[in-house]
């Protein structure tokens, strides 16, 4: 299961307490596609005290792979009948009992948005339905919104960009006449103002992601040297500190900077919503390595056995970047 490093755990606990003091739980939401969907679930479960909602496209339940790449590529993608929710609930309870995730009771107040295309041949729709089953152990079903009726292949679905809806690859961005980003955010954070007609490129901030990675090199961690964030102009003014919130958007496998450059973070649809709704969007970036040839976020353990807990290198890195954005653009006390 998890190997507990007490020194790192103490640091994470202190950081979590400070973050709760700086920003309310309603100010952080998260979403992801495919491996990014699994990562979004991991982050939500691990840091449920500060995350108020999660949107998942083509992702499955927490700790589904159980640290095993074979399980990841079989039951957690193509054979959902083999997924034991009871086993994953037990694993979650163990993580909670060993203080490597936040108390699961925090999730009761969360909102969950789930999507699976009817033509997804990479992550079967039954996997996402297993995620729904997992969440009902912690969250009332009235707080879980599902979309299972759109004929989409495995992709991040938009209403104005990408391949044909039933096309597979190469960038996994498909135009199905359905705005995933808008639907996710409108459900998680409430009624939205109309998205802006454009999102200025000057509002894209390149973040030195490598400087937030503990212990490992970026390549070892499976993380790119840089991440990106969209900072609306209104969130950049010192006088407006406290008016903005943060959303973390994880890309999927083969959607890395070396593979598709800026395609995901410029065309997913989050930035236009961010501009008119005082929303900062963080785009963490994975990269391929020997154990992770497709540049997926770690949802099976290639970066270490603690990957799904607050001790996981990718989890810590993203948490620290969220802390940084809050300190710089939201908290009135740096």
Cβ density class 113-127: b for 16+ within 10 Å, e for less: bbbbbebbebbbbeb
Looking up tokens 């729709």, which residue turns up? 125
Residue 333, pLDDT score? 59
Residue 92, pLDDT score? 98
CA angle 128, 131, 134 (to 5 degrees): 160
Using a pLDDT cut of 70, give the percent of the chain over it: 91
Confidence check: pLDDT of 43 > 50: yes
C-alpha 199, offset from chain centre: 22
**Strand ranges (E), the chain:** 28-33, 53-57, 111-115, 144-147, 156-158, 163-164, 173-175, 204-207, 227-230, 245-250, 279-283
| Angstrom distance (rounded) from CA 12 to CA 277 | 30
Mean pLDDT, to the nearest integer, of 312-324?
98
Give alpha helix (H) positions in 61-179. Answer: 69-73, 85-97, 125-135
pLDDT digits (tens, 9 = 90+) for 94-138: 999 999 999 999 999 999 999 999 999 999 999 999 999 999 999
Q: β-pairing, 53-57 with 111-115?
A: parallel
| Every domain of the chain and the residues it spans | 25-330
Residue 331, pLDDT score? 82
Active-site pick, 16, 27, 31, 34: 34
Cα dihedral 54, 323, 12, 333 sign:
negative
Q: 242 pLDDT band (50/70/90 cuts)?
A: confident
- Residue 119, C-beta contacts closer than 8 angstroms, at least 6 positions apart: 151, 152, 153, 165, 166
| Angstrom distance (rounded) from CA 208 to CA 186 | 30
- Active-site residue flag, 154: yes
Mean pLDDT, to the nearest integer, of 189-193?
94
Confidence check: pLDDT of 243 > 70: yes
Q: How far apart are the first and last CA of the chain?
A: 37
Active-site pick, 44, 154, 247, 251: 154
pLDDT digits (tens, 9 = 90+) for 56-97: 999 999 999 999 999 999 999 999 999 999 999 999 999 999
Active-site pick, 27, 35, 110, 120: 120
Confidence check: pLDDT of 7 > 50: no
Q: 14 pLDDT band (50/70/90 cuts)?
A: very low
Mean pLDDT, to the nearest integer, of 37-55?
98
Mean pLDDT, to the nearest integer, of 246-258?
98
Give SS3 for 203. Answer: helix
Confidence check: pLDDT of 201 > 60: yes
- Active-site residue flag, 298: no
Confidence check: pLDDT of 191 > 50: yes
| Angstrom distance (rounded) from CA 167 to CA 170 | 9
Please state, rounded to an integer, the average pLDDT across all residues of the chain. Answer: 92
**Strand ranges (E), 80-225:** 111-115, 144-147, 156-158, 163-164, 173-175, 204-207
- Active-site residue flag, 159: no
Residue 200, pLDDT score? 86
């Amino acid at each position: 299961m998890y190997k507990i490093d007490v020194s790192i755990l103490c640091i994470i606990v202190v950081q979590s307490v400070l973050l709760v003091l700086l920003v309310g739980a309603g100010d952080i939401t998260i979403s992801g596609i495919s491996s990014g969907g699994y990562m979004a679930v991991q982050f939500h479960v691990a840091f449920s005290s500060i995350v108020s909602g999660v949107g998942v496209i083509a992702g499955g339940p927490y700790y589904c792979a159980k640290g095993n790449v074979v399980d990841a590529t079989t039951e957690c993608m193509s054979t959902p009948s083999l997924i034991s929710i009871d086993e994953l609930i037990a694993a979650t309870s163990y993580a909670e009992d060993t203080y490597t995730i936040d108390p699961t009771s925090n999730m009761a107040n969360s909102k969950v948005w789930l999507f699976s295309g009817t033509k997804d041949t990479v992550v079967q729709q039954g996997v996402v339905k297993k995620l729904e089953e997992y969440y009902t152990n912690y969250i009332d079903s009235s707080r879980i919104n599902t979309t299972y009726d759109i004929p989409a292949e495995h992709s991040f679905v938009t209403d104005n960009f990408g391949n044909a809806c039933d096309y597979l690859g190469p960038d996994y961005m498909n135009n199905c006449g359905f705005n995933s980003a808008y639907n996710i955010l409108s459900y998680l954070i409430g009624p939205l103002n109309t998205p802006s007609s454009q999102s200025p490129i000057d509002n894209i901030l390149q973040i030195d992601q490598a400087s937030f990675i503990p212990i490992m090199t970026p390549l070892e961690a499976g993380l790119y040297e840089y991440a990106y964030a969209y900072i609306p102009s209104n969130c950049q003014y010192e006088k407006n500190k406290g008016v903005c919130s943060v959303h973390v958007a994880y890309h999927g496998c083969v959607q890395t900077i070396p593979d598709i450059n800026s395609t995901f973070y410029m065309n997913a649809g989050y930035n236009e919503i961010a501009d008119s709704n005082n929303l900062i969007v963080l785009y963490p970036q994975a990269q391929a390595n020997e154990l992770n040839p497709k540049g997926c976020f770690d949802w099976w353990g290639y970066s270490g056995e603690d990957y799904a807990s607050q001790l996981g290198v990718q989890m810590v890195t993203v948490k620290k970047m969220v802390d940084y954005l809050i300190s710089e653009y939201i908290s009135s006390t740096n």
